[in-house]
């Protein structure tokens, strides 16, 4: 099976195993059109002018790499250029062991934005949150830098301290100190929640399927009377397609899991499950939120469409495109990360931009419910200006009152979404589960709460 890149939202991952690569020859030469050669000539003229007249000496290699990356990132948020160093890092990350902070980031309006911290990493333990903006590293501003440039400032030897300056909604900027580690995250862990098992999958790297099997087997051995399983995919940014297929296969007896379709309508590749459900048909509920992306959405969509599980939580991120990583000269010149297809759930849904909508919508907090109602600080694939369009022309659901949120009497130390997933298992289905009163969140009359991006944009240059 070819390996494809399925990431949630990041243009780069710092300590997040969410990339894949495939050795593949670049396709035939571009069309020989006069306009193309004219523009290539223009590029050469600009490069020559910069070399001769820029105020300081320039590095031609860096200029050309930046131009290549700019060309690719103009296509969509997930295409880009990996220089040889970043390509090597990417391969290390997909193996599930790497050095870093355990934080996935992207760039938005020239500001580095956190997609999600990884479970049990320096970033997660330090309280870094999805949606935070990183404005400086060790006191040096990263405003206006590319993601790769900012990431290089955050990297270093394990054991060294790095200070991130964070801008967060409704908060003054503050510093967070983290100690770099060689990160060996377990992508799958398991625990009991009352009479039900909880299988937590935090990412999809090369070890995920075997770790998920082992975690479930260990839990079942210790708790043979387990009555159901909660599959927790919240804040899972994605990862390897083959691992998403293999994890889905753990719970299915056969049939289609996902298909991917490229530019040519005839270019369709389907992935099917084999016989054998490791749970023996145990009832399953999948828990997701808007940080569940790409490979995580494949699993949620497959189990939902195949009627194997019901989904509880919030609409997922909506990243429904496939990236193929194409090494250049065997990787000596780095690699292209290029969007080559969309993926579709078994029922034929393309969830690009729209996401997987849960069978029971549940906000984790009352504040989150209010944010859904007024669209404040919502982050999804649809929030990128140049995101690939939904193939079916669908739009992501707008501001609305979420079905459920924790009542005031709910213990804030407990996990409300997990509790409601257990209720669904206990009652046999979403339809049979008694519904709670809707939260009192008020729909905003004007959409678009002020984002901290506005406060941290690079200043405009003054002219004398």
Active site residues per annotation: 294, 305, 319
Asked if 237 and 291 count as a contact pair (C-beta separation under 8 A), the reply is: yes
Give me the torsion for CA of 365, 370, 371, 372, rounded to 10°: 90
Alpha helices in 158-284 (DSSP H): 208-222, 241-249
Q: For residues 65 and 334, what is the distance between their CA atoms, to the nearest angstrom?
A: 10
DSSP characters for 277-328? -TTSS--EEEEE-TT--THHHHHHHHHHHTTSEEEEES------EEEEEEES
Angle between helices 241-249 and 295-305 (to 10 degrees): 30
Q: For residues 413 and 366, what is the distance between their CA atoms, to the nearest angstrom?
A: 14
Half-sphere exposure (Cβ direction) of 74: Cα atoms closer than 13 Å: 6
CB 138: neighbour CB atoms within 10 A? 13
Give me the torsion for CA of 240, 65, 27, 2, rounded to 10°: -10
- From residue 36, how far is each of 41, 217, 275, 334, 337 by CA, in Å? 9, 58, 52, 24, 22
- 3-state DSSP call for residue 62? helix
Asked if 100 and 15 count as a contact pair (C-beta separation under 8 A), the reply is: yes
- 3-state DSSP call for residue 220? helix
């Amino acid at each position: 099976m070819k390996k494809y890149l399925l990431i949630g939202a990041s243009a780069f991952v710092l300590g997040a195993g969410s990339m894949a690569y495939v050795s593949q020859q670049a396709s035939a030469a571009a069309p020989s059109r006069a306009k193309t050669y004219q523009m290539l000539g223009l590029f050469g003229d600009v490069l020559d002018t910069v070399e001769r007249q820029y105020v300081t000496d320039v590095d031609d290699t860096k200029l050309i790499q930046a131009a290549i990356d700019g060309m690719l990132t103009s296509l969509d948020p997930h295409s880009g250029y990996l220089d040889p160093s970043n390509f090597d890092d990417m391969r290390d990350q997909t193996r599930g062991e790497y050095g870093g902070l355990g934080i996935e980031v992207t760039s938005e309006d020239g500001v580095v934005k956190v997609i999600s911290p990884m479970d049990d990493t320096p970033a997660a333990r330090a309280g870094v949150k999805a949606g935070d903006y990183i404005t400086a590293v060790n006191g040096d501003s990263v405003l206006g830098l590319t993601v790769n440039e900012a990431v290089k400032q955050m990297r270093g030897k394990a054991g060294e301290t790095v200070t991130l300056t964070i801008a967060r909604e409704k908060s003054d900027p503050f510093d967070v100190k983290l100690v770099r580690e060689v990160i060996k995250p377990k992508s799958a862990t398991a625990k009991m929640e009352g009479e039900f098992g909880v299988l937590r999958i935090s990412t999809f790297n090369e070890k995920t399927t075997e770790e998920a099997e082992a975690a479930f087997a260990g839990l079942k051995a210790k708790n043979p009377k387990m009555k159901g399983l909660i599959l927790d995919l919240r804040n899972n940014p994605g990862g390897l397609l083959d691992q998403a297929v293999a994890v889905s296969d753990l719970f299915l007896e056969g049939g289609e899991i996902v298909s991917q379709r490229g530019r040519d309508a005839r270019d369709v590749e389907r992935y099917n499950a084999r016989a054998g459900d490791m749970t023996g048909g145990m009832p399953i509920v999948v828990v997701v939120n808007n940080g569940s992306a790409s490979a995580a959405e494949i699993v949620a969509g497959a189990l939902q469409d195949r009627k194997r599980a019901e989904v509880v939580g919030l609409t997922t991120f909506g990243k429904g495109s496939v990236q193929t990583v194409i090494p250049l000269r065997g990787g000596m010149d780095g690699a292209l990360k290029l969007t080559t297809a969309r993926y579709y759930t078994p029922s034929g849904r393309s969830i690009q931009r729209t996401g997987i909508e849960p069978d029971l919508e549940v906000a984790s907090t009352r504040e989150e419910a209010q944010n859904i109602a007024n669209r404040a600080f919502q982050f999804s694939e649809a929030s990128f200006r140049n995101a690939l369009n939904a193939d079916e022309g669908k739009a992501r659901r707008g501001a609305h009152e979420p079905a459920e949120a924790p009542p005031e009497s709910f213990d804030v130390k407990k996990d409300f979404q997990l509790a409601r997933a257990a209720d669904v298992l206990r009652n046999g289905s979403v339809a049979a589960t008694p519904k709670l009163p809707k939260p009192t969140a008020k729909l905003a009359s004007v959409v678009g709460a002020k984002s901290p991006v506005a406060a941290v944009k690079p200043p405009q240059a003054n002219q004398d």
